[in-house]
């Protein structure tokens, strides 16, 4: 092949019109993502962008918004048990899932109903 796909640059989730404040509260204030300045030409579309590590999460505004209930980004974390306690302390509901071998994982819904996965691979397990 004459091309090579290197990595995922960003993931975009949708949110309803006027929900930027809720997005900032959840992704920046609660989860600790860093807000990224959107290019000037894209600001008029609304939404907000965040960064974590080398990755970005974009929240795009959709006038006909419907949450992603099955499709979702998955975030690998260290110390998932600590994250679970932190989420409880901040009133964020999560669902524990034990169906993935060698992983401890939970599902969270953002303020707009989009599904998010947080997982920690077992130190002894293999990640394929």
DSSP string computed for 30-95: IT-PEEEPPPHHHHTT--EEEEETTEEEEEEE-TT----SS---EEE-S-HHHHHHHHHHTT--EE
14: CATH: 3.10.180.10
Q: pTM, whole model, 2 decimals?
A: 0.90
Establish if 5 belongs to a structural domain.
Answer: no
Alpha carbon distances (Å) from 119 to 12, 54, 55: 19, 18, 16
Report whether 31 contacts 73 (CB < 8 A). Answer: no
| pLDDT tens-digit readout, 38-61 | 999 999 999 999 999 999 999 999
Q: Which residue has the tokens 């080398």?
A: 54
- In a domain? residue 4: no
Q: How many domains does the chain have?
A: 1
Does a structural domain hold residue 21?
yes
Give mean pLDDT, residues 85-107.
Answer: 97
Q: What is the pLDDT of residue 75?
A: 95
User: Residue 126: is its pLDDT beyond 80?
Assistant: no
Residue 102's pLDDT band (boundaries 50, 70, 90)?
Answer: very high
Q: 2 lies in a domain?
A: no
Domain holding 45, by residue range, is 10-121
What's the confidence (pLDDT) of residue 11? Answer: 95
Share of the chain above pLDDT 70, in %: 96
């Amino acid at each position: 092949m004459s091309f090579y796909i290197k990595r995922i640059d960003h993931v975009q989730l949708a949110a309803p019109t006027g929900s930027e404040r809720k997005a900032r509260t959840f992704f920046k204030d609660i989860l600790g993502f860093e807000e990224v300045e959107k290019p000037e030409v894209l600001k008029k579309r609304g939404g907000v962008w965040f960064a974590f590590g080398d990755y970005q999460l974009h929240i795009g505004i959709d006038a006909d918004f419907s949450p992603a209930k099955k499709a979702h980004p998955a975030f690998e974390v260290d110390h998932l048990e600590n994250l679970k306690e932190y989420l409880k302390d901040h009133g964020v509901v999560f669902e524990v899932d034990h169906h993935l071998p060698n992983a401890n994982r939970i599902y969270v819904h953002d303020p707009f109903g989009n599904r998010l996965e947080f997982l920690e691979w077992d130190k002894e397990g293999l990640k394929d």
